[in-house]
Amino acid sequence: MDISVEISPMKMDDLDEVLAIEASCFPSSWSRGVFMRELWLSISRNLVAKIETGMGKEIAGYANYWIIPAEVQLHNIAVRKDMRRKGIASKLVAEIMKSAHKEGASWGTLEVRRSNEGAISLYKKNGFVVEGVRPFYYYTDTREDALIMWVNINEWFMKRNNYGT
């Protein structure tokens, strides 16, 4: 089912909803202070994906990434549990690629828990490949390794055009 998703820059007013999703998604979740710092940081970009639920617009997901000259680093992406597998994270990733490309980034990187099969599938479906491993990267909680994933943004655009998406 294709649902209508509105993607916009995250604002302070969004933080209550964002924090509720964040707390339900990660063993070590970001605090309000961390999100506030990200909203202030000049290299940081923060998006929310909103959908109309019938009771008004609600935040279904969000993403945080940094634009460092030539590179986009994806640091956080999450979707509300009851709104998953509807293409919302894919729409956020597509928006990140477009905005990163506009800002001159040529490649993207991220770290993902080795056990996070859903996220790894999402990234692979969106053109990322596994390029390496950071052992014990998540040492503060599960102590598991991170997979380092990488995407060439120009190739990502070429494939999108070929597929007409």
Q: Which two tokens stand for residue 62?
A: 């969000």
**Rounded to the nearest whole angstrom, what is the least distance from the CB of residue 111 to ligand COA in the complex?**
7
Residue 17 sits in the site that holds ligand COA (CB under 6 A): no
Residue nearest to ligand COA according to CB distances in the complex: 118
**Rounded to the nearest whole angstrom, what is the least distance from the CB of residue 76 to ligand COA in the complex?**
7
Window 39-78: residues binding ligand COA (CB under 6 A)? 77-78
Supply the residues annotated as catalytic.
Answer: 111, 123
Backbone angles phi, psi at 10, to 5 degrees: -70, 140
Window 90-119: residues binding ligand COA (CB under 6 A)? 90, 112, 116-119
Single residue of 18, 48, 67, 88 touching ligand COA by CB under 6 A: 88
Window 25-44: residues binding ligand COA (CB under 6 A)? 25
**Selected range binding ligand COA among 5-13, 79-87, 100-108, 137-145, rule: CB under 6 A:** 79-87
Residues that bind ligand COA (CB under 6 A): 25, 77-79, 84-90, 112, 116-119, 121-122, 125
